[in-house]
């Protein structure tokens, strides 16, 4: 006798099916707020070493699933492994975030290798196979990449900035060169996501963390167009692929993103109005989000009220509970437990 198929509630939502209890995962759920993560991180060396050591990366991917029983596991890696695989220097320094060799000369972009080195990324696919063999069957396994725009902002400036002005300025001054950089990142992202899916992730998310700093025309050119290319190319190879788009801060550009890009679900940041999310976005696509990471950090009544408002607005349709951006390192574990109890009833 064959076993009955185990269903994955989070994947079911991505297929448009509302769940009575919303599935939950948290962006950046493998991270410094977990003591067990800190312990592994100490033995691993750098963040990149952790990303490229399959046993350890698989372990930190599984930690939040074991502790909290989330419905989704996100691959432990980083969006900046792509610039690294393109031969750029990438380092993570404690307290300062990522440090890359700045790419601010048009000639350096013209000289950039057109293809990410597959040997550099190979360990990540091994991590996926290890996680896959250990993950409970009801848990949806998510792969990811950064939006080409967001990855480019770090490559140009060499680090994060409050509004990613260096990349915006570069794109105005050298649009053709900037378009070449985004083409390279777009092709690398398609390859990277296709390989993740082949190795065993169930769905993927495209993190466009810096979508919100772009004016409408630039949003269309640097956020929507490359993301649409990724989605189209992935669907050509894998017609049933499920893709979550997360254009953080898109604001009034959201409708254009939703109508053009072709993702299966929309990740909402914490600034999105809940009535708009329900009436304008969720009518068309499943949604994910959008608790303010600071409400989770604060805990108490503020957390309960925020959770209740989100569930009341969105749990009537296809909905995945999540944060509106990554969990903050000082977040108490007890607040994550409080939030889970509240969502699951």
Distance in angstroms (rounded) separating the CA atoms of residues 129 and 20: 31
Confirm whether 115 is a catalytic residue.
no
Does 99 help bind ligand CP3 (rule: CB under 6 A)?
Answer: no
Confirm whether 125 is a catalytic residue.
no
Which of positions 78-97 make contact with ligand CP3 (CB under 6 A)? 78-80, 92, 97
What would the DSSP string read from start to end of 138-188? TSEEEEEEE-HHHHHHHHHHSS--SS-HHHHHHHHH-HHHHHHHHHHHHHH
Distances in Å between the Cα of 279 and the Cα atoms of 19, 253, 268, 273, 317 are 18, 16, 14, 10, 11
Contact 301, 270 (CB under 8 A): no
Does 47 help bind ligand CP3 (rule: CB under 6 A)?
Answer: yes
What would the DSSP string read from start to end of 36-62? HHHHHHHHH-SHHHHHT-HHHHHHHHH
* Region of 143-151, 162-170, 171-179, 195-203 interacting with ligand CP3 (CB under 6 A): 143-151
- What are residue 8's phi and psi, to 5 degrees? -110, 105
Confirm whether 78 is a catalytic residue.
yes
* Region of 72-80, 113-121, 272-280, 313-321 interacting with ligand CP3 (CB under 6 A): 72-80
Length of the chain: 345
Does 160 help bind ligand CP3 (rule: CB under 6 A)?
Answer: yes
**Contact residue for ligand CP3 among 28, 88, 168, 242 (CB under 6 A):** 28
Distance in angstroms (rounded) separating the CA atoms of residues 100 and 37: 24
Please, which residues have CB within 8 angstroms of residue 165's CB and are 6 or more apart in sequence? none
Does 207 help bind ligand CP3 (rule: CB under 6 A)?
Answer: yes
Min dist. Cβ of residue 33 to ligand CP3 (A): 10
Confirm whether 256 is a catalytic residue.
no
Does 29 help bind ligand CP3 (rule: CB under 6 A)?
Answer: yes
* Region of 77-85, 113-121, 165-173, 312-320 interacting with ligand CP3 (CB under 6 A): 77-85
Does 243 help bind ligand CP3 (rule: CB under 6 A)?
Answer: no
Distance in angstroms (rounded) separating the CA atoms of residues 207 and 190: 14
- 61 or 313: CB nearest ligand CP3: 61
- 278 or 290: CB nearest ligand CP3: 290
For residue 205, the SS3 value is strand
- 63 or 313: CB nearest ligand CP3: 63
Q: Which two tokens stand for residue 265?
A: 């679900």
Distance in angstroms (rounded) separating the CA atoms of residues 190 and 202: 16
For residue 70, the SS3 value is coil
Q: By CB under 6 A, how many residues form the interface with ligand CP3?
A: 24
Q: Which of 33, 37, 41, 257 is catalytic?
A: 41
* Region of 144-152, 213-221, 263-271, 334-342 interacting with ligand CP3 (CB under 6 A): 144-152
Confirm whether 248 is a catalytic residue.
no
**Contact residue for ligand CP3 among 22, 31, 143, 293 (CB under 6 A):** 31
Does 41 help bind ligand CP3 (rule: CB under 6 A)?
Answer: yes
Can you name the residues that pair with 74 across neighbouring β-strands?
Answer: 142
- Binding residues (CB under 6 A) for ligand CP3: these are 27-32, 41, 47, 74, 76-80, 92, 97-98, 144, 146, 150, 160, 207, 209, 326
Catalytic residues: 28, 32, 41, 78, 154
């Amino acid at each position: 006798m064959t076993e009955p198929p185990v269903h994955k509630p989070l994947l079911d939502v991505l297929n448009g099916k509302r769940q009575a209890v919303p599935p939950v995962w948290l962006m950046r759920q493998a991270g410094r707020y977990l003591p067990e993560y800190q312990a592994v991180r100490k033995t691993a060396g750098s963040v990149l070493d952790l990303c490229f050591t399959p046993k350890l990366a698989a372990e930190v991917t599984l930690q939040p699933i074991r502790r909290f029983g989330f419905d989704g596991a996100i691959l432990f890696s980083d969006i900046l492994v792509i610039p690294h695989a393109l031969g750029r220097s990438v380092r993570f320094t404690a307290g300062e975030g990522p440090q890359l060799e700045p790419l601010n000369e048009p000639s350096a972009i013209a000289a950039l290798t057109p293809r990410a080195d597959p040997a550099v990324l190979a360990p990540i696919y091994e991590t996926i196979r290890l996680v896959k063999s250990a993950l409970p069957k009801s848990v949806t396994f998510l792969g990811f990449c950064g939006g080409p725009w967001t990855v480019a902002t770090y490559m140009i400036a060499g680090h994060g900035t409050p509004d990613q002005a260096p990349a915006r300025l570069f794109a105005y001054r050298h649009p053709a060169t900037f378009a070449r950089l985004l083409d390279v990142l777009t092709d690398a992202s398609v390859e990277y996501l296709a390989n993740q899916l082949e190795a065993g992730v169930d769905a993927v998310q495209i993190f466009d963390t810096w979508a919100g700093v772009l004016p409408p025309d630039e949003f269309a050119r640097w956020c929507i167009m490359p993301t649409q290319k990724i989605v189209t190319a992935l669907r050509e190879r894998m017609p049933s692929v499920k893709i979550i788009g997360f254009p953080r801060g898109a604001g009034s550009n959201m409708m254009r993103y939703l109508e053009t890009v072709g993702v299966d679900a929309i990740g909402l940041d914490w600034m999105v109005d809940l009535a708009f999310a329900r009436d304008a976005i969720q009518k068309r696509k499943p949604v994910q989000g959008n608790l303010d990471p600071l409400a989770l950090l604060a805990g108490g009544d503020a957390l309960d009220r925020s959770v209740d408002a989100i569930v009341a607005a969105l749990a009537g349709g296809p909905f995945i509970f999540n944060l509106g951006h990554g969990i903050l390192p000082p977040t108490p574990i007890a607040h994550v437990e409080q939030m889970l109890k509240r969502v699951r009833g």
